[in-house]
Amino acid sequence: MDHHSLPPEIEDLRQRTREFVRDTVMQHEPAPGDYLTHATREKLQAAAKEAGVFAPHVPREYGGQGVPIEYWSPIFQEAGYSPIGPSVLNCMAPDEGNMHMLNLIATGEQKRRYLTPLATGEVRSCFGMTEPHPGAGSDPSALQTTATRRGERWIINGHKRFISGAIGAGFCIVMATTAAGEDAPGGATMFLVDMDNPGVRVGEPIHTVDRYITGGHPHVYFENCEVGADAVLGKAGEGFRYAQVRLGPARLTHCMRWLGLARRSLDIALDRAEQREVFGSALKDLGLTQNLIAESVIDIETSDAIITKTARLLENDPKQGSALSSVAKVHCSEAIYRVIDRAVQICGGDGVSDGLPLAQYLNEVRPFRIYDGTNETHKWAIARRASAARRKAVESGAPRQDTPVIREAHL
């Protein structure tokens, strides 16, 4: 997004976020392969609040900066210039997506109990969707966790895995199948479940290559987990519809944050290319290096453009925006990885060492082609939507374009 086109108050926040991340946050980054400690996170979050850059996406009434989703990207990219920036600014997954959904769907009491402490950084959260095979993964309709109604209570049973942020989280938004009742259709229902509920057990951690999502990606077990009627988020049976409210923006904010890291990676590569000489020439003047740099600039700019378009749609036409977020997720997850990989190549041996953070950056962004729905699943959905849209257009009178044209021969 062109910074000159931003409203003055958004540009001011972007600049202040940029300065805070580069002047304060970056000096506290853990060494490649290490984790951000709880004490450092708390210290930096307090500093972010003092600087007026904390929780940019959260409404002001809950302690945030009140930025509309249309303008999240330039600020999230500045936060993502440091891999710990989003956690410090409290706009990291899965909390950011949960805050967005709670703000749109939760009751007033649920907002007081869950959104307010989450928005202020007092607690963290997780989102309980993914299950071991053959349960829900890329195919959410395979959901096997169940919630059974007993009077005014619900009993949840199920096994979740890859539940990002679950270790140390205060609560989980759990997706479970529910039977049809007099006041609700059968389907999936979302529940707000405190992690200290005796029916919740955080199981074995899953060791992944990424390091910057606080709370890991463990298994979580719900064993006769009893909750009240007030734990239902939204309406019973409407869980899959609500999931789209969360997942569309959540896919896009991943793109925003990681694009900031791609910009950092290119800067590292550009600084290296400026300083190094090989075969009697500056590295930046070699055609092969220039090609790597140019391709990275192209990947960054195209990613920025599709993020901006999708964010505007999510603000004004959420259904179309959610559909386009699949395109953005696939493009950005692959383009960002390419940018960082080229930076590694330009930096040579240092690029794959822990002297530079680039190898860890690759580890951070590689899972994004799997998280939030695999790219292959998104491509399948993208193709189906394209076919359906074209079929509808033809049925509405648009001419088919595949009919051969017979032309007279001219002697």
pLDDT attached to residue 310? 97
The per-residue pLDDT for range 131-152, each reduced to its tens digit, is 999 999 888 889 999 999 999 9
Evaluate if residue 49 carries a pLDDT over 90.
Answer: yes
The mean predicted confidence, pLDDT, of the chain is 95
Q: Which residues of 375-411 are buried (b: 16+ CB within 10 A; e: fewer)?
A: bebbeeebeeeeeeeeeeeeeeeeeeeeeeeeeeeee
User: Is residue 44 a contact partner of residue 88, using CB atoms and an 8 Å limit?
Assistant: yes
CB 29 within 8 A of CB 82: yes
pLDDT at 160 over 80: yes
Give the residue-averaged pLDDT of 3-31. 95
Domains by residue range for the chain, with CATH: 3-119 (1.10.540.10), 125-237 (2.40.110.10), 240-392 (1.20.140.10)
Residue 170: burial class (beta carbons within 10 Å; 0-12, 13-18, 19+):
middle
* pLDDT surpasses 80 at 117: yes
Integer-rounded Cα radius of gyration of the chain: 23
- With a cut of 80, say whether residue 80 has pLDDT above it: yes
**CA pair distance 353, 344, nearest whole angstrom:** 10
pLDDT (0 to 100) of residue 406: 77
What tokens does 409 get?
A: 């021969």
Q: Can you name the residues that pair with 191 across neighbouring β-strands?
A: 174, 232
Residue 78, burial from CB neighbour count under 10 angstroms (0-12, 13-18, 19+)? buried
The pLDDT value given to residue 411: 55
Question: Distance between CA atoms of 400 and 407, rounded to whole angstroms?
Answer: 18
